[in-house]
Chain A
Amino acid sequence: MTDSETTETVLDIRGLTKSFGSNVVLDGVSLKVGKAQTVCLLGPSGSGKSTLLRCVNWLEKPDQGSVYLSGRRIGVREGGHMAMSNAELARERARIGMVFQHFNLWPHLSVIQNIVEAPIHVQRRAKDEVMAEAEILLDRVGLAAKKDDFPSRLSGGQKQRVGIARALAMKPELLLFDEPTSALDPELVGEVVAVMKKLAEGGSTMLVVTHEMSFARETADEVILMDGGRIVETGAPGAFFKNPKTERARQFLQRYVS
């Protein structure tokens, strides 16, 4: 990270390891995301990117290592080695917004209900205030007219934009994107990427797992290439895409960037 001294660190991952049975998925991963930065995680499938993301908000419990969000450790109580209770963990997760590959919207709730569900019932904020904010968010992702529709009526790109608005409604300190465009028809990718770019430029702190190289090249402050559960190369997008330092990065770019 080039300017880690000048920007405040939002996410600090230290030495994370995770295995499923004998399969080592994360093998000592450390990285930082500074405030208002966008960091893109690249890598072939099975390289551990998604697992890393899911370890950040403890959807997957890491075997070793630690995750700090704005200086506070996630998943483990202050000072000690005591694991957080489910209720404590839920509170910490509410500080992190997540956008999923398959949108994961709640089909029995309308678009606006999807957005206000957690702010009202988890964060216990006033309904009027949350509803007003949700309308502004929907406007920002270009879906103001769809607020009373149900998810089944939306296209993939519209669903994902609702997913992004839903994450933003939590006013999260950090946004996690887990391959947000991978399940979309090619012609729908653009509308989602456009929203994500606007967020990055608007000062959101984002950790993005993606195969969308143009997004990484144009928007990321930093690009991280993972392979086999390790970080292979880290760099500014300009340098990474033009002059990769490692042979592995060169191979990867040859395959993924046409």
Chain B
Amino acid sequence: MTWNAFLSLLDGAGLTLLISGAGILIGVPLGFALALIRWARVPVLAPIAAVYVSLLRSTPAVTLCLLIFFAVPTLGIEIGAWTAGILTLALVTAAFNSEIWRAGLLNFPADQLEAARAFGMPAGLRLRRIIFPQLWRVSLPGLVNEATLLIKASPAIAVIGVAEITRAATRIGAQTYEPLPPMLAATGLYVAIILVLVGLQRFVEKRYGRIGAQA
């Protein structure tokens, strides 16, 4: 494998990071919104959110990606491969993230919320001051786990021609007739990305501590 080939693999890694990162940045808050809608039993929206989550959880990312890439233009909206890739990953991970957030919400101690209500806190304040500061800490491990799964599922968007890590590696292998070195390098890159992500989680957990731990 040449130096140039390795550089193209690094480009692929950059693209994987960009598209997965954007997908996670959109998908985590979107998942939170979906979870809130279901938890608060918002009329009309709650059942729609439930159907959305079920559908997205059961659709393979590859299929969804192709669907978005080919179906959205028929609505008269132009969509590039990167955008379609980001959208795919964001929509998929939002469905899984919403289940993580929702589990945290459903397990939230009722007595704390009762105290918040008794002290005159409206719903928004309860969410912001009482629930969320505890919820994100509880949900973080699950969210990071889902993020690692998403990064590893991201080669799905290669089907619409996005040259992320795996596609770049396949291409190098096809050109050099030596698939082993680029695939090993690709594996190394995934491992490095995931390790950084998990390291980040450890750092945040250490820095911000457990709920109610002594500062």
User: Could you tell me which A residues sit within 8 Å of B by CB distance?
Assistant: 57, 59, 86-87, 90-94, 96, 98, 100, 102, 104-108, 110, 117-118, 121-123, 148-153, 166, 170
Contacts and interface: CB of A to CB of B under 8 A. Distances in A.
Nearest to A169: B119
Q: Helix, strand, loop or mixed for chain B's interface?
A: helix
Contact of B120 (A102, A105, A118): A118
Contacts of A92: 120
A109 B123 CA distance: 19
Contacts of A149: 214
A153 B211 CA distance: 12
Given A86-B123, A98-B115, A121-B125, 12 more contacts: A59-B114, A93-B117, A93-B118, A94-B120, A104-B111, A104-B112, A104-B115, A106-B115, A107-B112, A107-B211, A118-B119, A118-B121
A150 B117 contact: no
B118 A57 contact: yes
Given A106-B112, A117-B129, A59 B118 contact: yes
Contacts of B120: 90-94, 118, 122-123, 170
A108 B133 contact: yes
B122 A87 contact: yes
A106 B131 CA distance: 10
A173 B50 CA distance: 44
Contacts of A117: 119, 129
Interface in B9-36: none
Contacts of A93: 117-120
Given A93-B120, A106-B130, A100 B211 contact: no
B139 interface: no
7 contacts: A86-B123, A93-B117, A94-B119, A94-B120, A98-B118, A107-B212, A149-B214
B215 to A, nearest CB: 8
Nearest to B134: A108
B134 A107 contact: yes
B121 A108 contact: no
A150 B115 contact: no
Contacts of B174: none
B43 to A, nearest CB: 15
B213 interface: yes
A258 B121 CA distance: 42
Contacts of B117: 59, 90, 93
A91 B129 CA distance: 17
Contacts of B133: 108
A122 B121 contact: yes
Contacts of B122: 86-87, 90
Contact of A102 (B111, B123, B214): B111
B180 to A, nearest CB: 51
A117 B115 CA distance: 11
A91 B122 CA distance: 9
